[in-house]
Amino acid sequence: MRFDLVVKGGTLLTSEGARKGDIGVRGGKIAEIGPSLSGRKVLEAGGTYVIPGGGDVHTHLDMPLGGVTVTADDFATGSLAAACGGTTTIIDYAAQTKGRSMREALDVWRRKADGRSIVDYGFHMSLPEVTEKGLEEMDRLVREGVTTFKLFMAYPGRFMLGDGDIYRVMERSRGNGGMVLLHAENGPVIDVLTREALRRGHRSPRFHPQVRPVAAEAEAVSRALALADMAGARVYIVHLSTAKALAHVREARRAERPVFAETCPQYLYLSDKEYLRPGFEAAKYVMAPPLRPRGNEEALWEGLRSGWLQVVATDHCSFDYRGTRKRPGKELGRGDFTKIPGGVPGIETRMLLLWDAVQRGLLSQARFVEVACTAPAKLFGLYPRKGALERGSDADIVLIDPFRRHMISAKTHHMNVDYNPYEGLCTRGSVKHVLIRGRDVVRDYEPVPRPPKGVFLKRRPV
Ligand code: URP
Ligand code: ZN
Ligand code: ZN
């Protein structure tokens, strides 16, 4: 049987382990896995690891910020950068506006992504308020493949929901098959600490981590899990950053409750030392939650190894350091750190950093595939179409060259942002080739000239 394409002679790496084999691709799907397959085209994979395309389930592309600016990456630039880093599926956050419908937000985000995204994409919906109409709309969105709803426990007066409203959304999600995602930080306390810091004249970005303490996250995670328990709902904590917060997740999972959590490369690789950078440089690392004291990352790695943490996603939210008049960046907060647009870029570097962790013995090969590719697909209703090397899966295939080094730098990255938080870090391993539904997107370490476009992914409730 001849295939459109055969990926030949590589070591296939999945969340189950490594094996030798060829992959036969037909009609954009994996049609066969076996020895000595032949096809009209052959992609030589000898000397590489062949993995399922990565899934980044936490991105903010083309995201406006309070009418002041917009993220540096839109769906065209951000998704191309994702592909260059071995990520072939993203789930971005569509944001409902107060007084408007979720449908309207979804339409807006579809227009941003359709015909522009290079990788396949789905959406979460973030909710700034809870109304009876909104709860009914949730049911409809779940049926249309938007199955996950982000709620904020931070930012009072803007996005924060009270416990009663969080509980109502959780209860609804239990009935309609959706899942609640929580930004878990204690917003009211953070607001008090922020006001006190400004009153004392603490205006530089080095004070950012001090107003968002470890305990503010740990308390909110613990409360979120208690609310989920009362509602009998599944819950997923986004961008978990501390050992203390992880301890609450571990306890809930030990009790066999349906609790899941992601962490992000920035919390694994960087620490609050970045806030001691001279001048305004610390602004590059302003994000919520903030970078944490050293030691937390050890607990997070252990969490990934032992399964207490299921996913590594990026929270890619890029703002230029310098910015332009049309699209201001971090400098908006010169003289007042609370006005610095929050977030870091990372959509391109997630898989590279995690593979480097494999080379350094921090993560097994199988766990790498699990947390970067397979668990994101499973938890968000895309498996086995995504996140797997199986007959019938989309032929989203990434070839990793394990020995070629990759120097991370804003000078060479594909993200449309003027700095890289990992500048100068050299990973062991590079992304050699990326196929999305059987078509070349990255070839010999470079994006192809006119890459094919991604498609909207209607996700299943899980
Ligand atoms: O600072 C961050 N993380 N900005 C992105 C929005 C969010 O809360 O995930
Ligand atoms: Zn968040
Ligand atoms: Zn986010």
Quick: pLDDT tens for 208-233. 999 999 999 999 999 999 999 999 99
**Which tokens is 315 given?**
């929270």
Distance between Cα 70 and ligand 3 center (Å):
14
- CA dist 18 and 386 (Å) reads 18
Alpha-helix runs per DSSP H in 3-101: 75-84
Q: In which band, very low, low, confident or very high, does the pLDDT at 332 lie, cut at 50, 70 and 90?
A: very high
Q: What per-residue confidence (pLDDT) applies to 286?
A: 98
pLDDT tens-digit readout, 115-170: 999 999 999 999 999 999 999 999 999 999 999 999 999 999 999 999 999 999 99
Nearest CA to ligand 1 atom 4: 343
Q: What per-residue confidence (pLDDT) applies to 218?
A: 99
How large is the average pLDDT for residues 68-93? 98
Distance between Cα 239 and ligand 2 center (Å):
7
Cβ count near 455 (within 10 Å): 16
Cα 220 to chain centroid distance, Å, stands at 20
Nearest ligand, measured from the Cα of 342: 1
Please tell me if the CB atom of residue 343 comes closer than 6 angstroms to any atom of ligand 1: yes
Q: Rg for the chain (alpha carbons), in Å?
A: 21
For residue 328, pLDDT over 90 is answered with yes
Nearest CA to ligand 1 atom 8: 288
CB 436 within 8 A of CB 120: yes
pLDDT tens-digit readout, 245-293: 999 999 999 999 999 999 999 999 999 999 999 999 999 999 999 999 9
49 membership: H or E segment, kind and range: strand 49-52
How large is the average pLDDT for residues 58-72? 97
Distance between Cα 382 and ligand 3 center (Å):
20
Q: What per-residue confidence (pLDDT) applies to 130?
A: 98
**Which tokens is 91 given?**
């789930």
Distance between Cα 56 and ligand 3 center (Å):
11
Q: Which residues pair with 439 in a beta bridge?
A: 436
Please tell me if the CB atom of residue 208 comes closer than 6 angstroms to any atom of ligand 1: no
Q: How many helices (H) and strands (E) does the chain have?
A: 12, 21
Nearest ligand, measured from the Cα of 93: 3
Nearest ligand 1 atom to alpha carbon 317: 5
Please tell me if the CB atom of residue 65 comes closer than 6 angstroms to any atom of ligand 1: no
Q: What per-residue confidence (pLDDT) applies to 371?
A: 99
All domains in the chain, ordered by first residue: 2-51+391-447 (2.30.40.10), 54-366 (3.20.20.140)
Q: What per-residue confidence (pLDDT) applies to 244?
A: 98
Nearest ligand 1 atom to alpha carbon 154: 8
pLDDT tens-digit readout, 416-450: 999 999 999 999 999 999 999 999 999 999 999 99
Nearest CA to ligand 1 atom 9: 315
Q: What per-residue confidence (pLDDT) applies to 63?
A: 98
Cβ-based burial of 444 (10 A; exposed 0-12, middle 13-18, buried ≥19):
exposed
- What are the DSSP E strand ranges found in 216-290? 235-237, 259-263
pLDDT tens-digit readout, 387-411: 999 999 999 999 999 999 999 999 9
For residue 1, pLDDT over 90 is answered with no
Please tell me if the CB atom of residue 288 comes closer than 6 angstroms to any atom of ligand 1: yes
Helix axes 214-231, 187-199, angle to 10 degrees: 160
Please tell me if the CB atom of residue 317 comes closer than 6 angstroms to any atom of ligand 1: yes
Please tell me if the CB atom of residue 342 comes closer than 6 angstroms to any atom of ligand 1: yes
- What are the DSSP E strand ranges found in 173-288? 179-183, 235-237, 259-263
Q: What per-residue confidence (pLDDT) applies to 173?
A: 98
Nearest CA to ligand 1 atom 5: 343
For residue 345, pLDDT over 80 is answered with yes
Cβ-based burial of 37 (10 A; exposed 0-12, middle 13-18, buried ≥19):
buried
How large is the average pLDDT for residues 44-60? 98
Please tell me if the CB atom of residue 185 comes closer than 6 angstroms to any atom of ligand 1: no
Distance between Cα 243 and ligand 3 center (Å):
20
For residue 98, pLDDT over 80 is answered with yes
- CA dist 222 and 455 (Å) reads 37
What percent of the chain has pLDDT above 90? 99
By the CB criterion, residues less than 5 angstroms from ion ligand 3 are: 315
Distance between Cα 315 and ligand 1 center (Å):
6
